[in-house]
Amino acid sequence: MDVRQRLSLALKDAMKAKEVDRLSTLRLINAAIKDRDIALRGTGAEEGAVVGEADVLAILGRMVKQRQESARAYEEGGRLELAQKELAEIKVVEEFLPRQLTEDETAAAVDAAIAETEAASIRDMGRVMAALKDRYTGQMDFGRVGPLVKDRLG
């Protein structure tokens, strides 16, 4: 079952259970995906085209990052109730993301991508990152992976 189907089922369940906060977050996720679908159609894609699974996972990853930043800002500002709301939304969004790779798994994935792309220098970093994004979207934080790749190639 893909992410869209799981999201649809979760939305129905939240409505039935009258889980207001969860329902609100699920609707935000749905809206973000639909906005991306509409933007895709605006680029001249065929009628009825929808974003792929990898794009949906990327959207969810961005939503988690945005909420983490907001929660941090709210905590620094002493608005703990708003920070808690953001953290609760993160938990809902993360339900639809695949399991995050551990540091060891991430390091192994980086090494495998370097070997696979036959990267020899920092100039090959783009190819390595592209290979990682193709295979591990939603499973690793590419902001943290970039420096790791750079260290291995540098």
* 55-107 per-position pLDDT tens digit: 888 899 899 999 999 999 999 999 999 999 999 999 999 999 888 888 899 99
Per-residue pLDDT at 46 exceeds 80? no
pLDDT band at 139 (very low <50, low <70, confident <90, very high): confident
Write down the pLDDT at residue 50.
79
CB 68 within 8 A of CB 147: no
Domain map of the chain by residue range? 3-94, 103-153
Write down the pLDDT at residue 14.
95
> Phi/psi zone of residue 121: left (φ > 0), alpha (ψ -120 to 50 degrees), beta?
beta
Q: Which CATH number fits domain 103-153: 2.70.98.70, 1.10.10.410, 1.10.30.50, 1.10.10.10?
A: 1.10.10.410
* 100-135 per-position pLDDT tens digit: 888 899 999 999 999 999 988 899 899 999 999 888
The pTM score is 0.76
Q: What would be the CATH architecture of the domain defined by 3-94? A: Orthogonal Bundle (1.10)
Count other C-beta atoms under 10 Å from residue 128's C-beta. Answer: 25
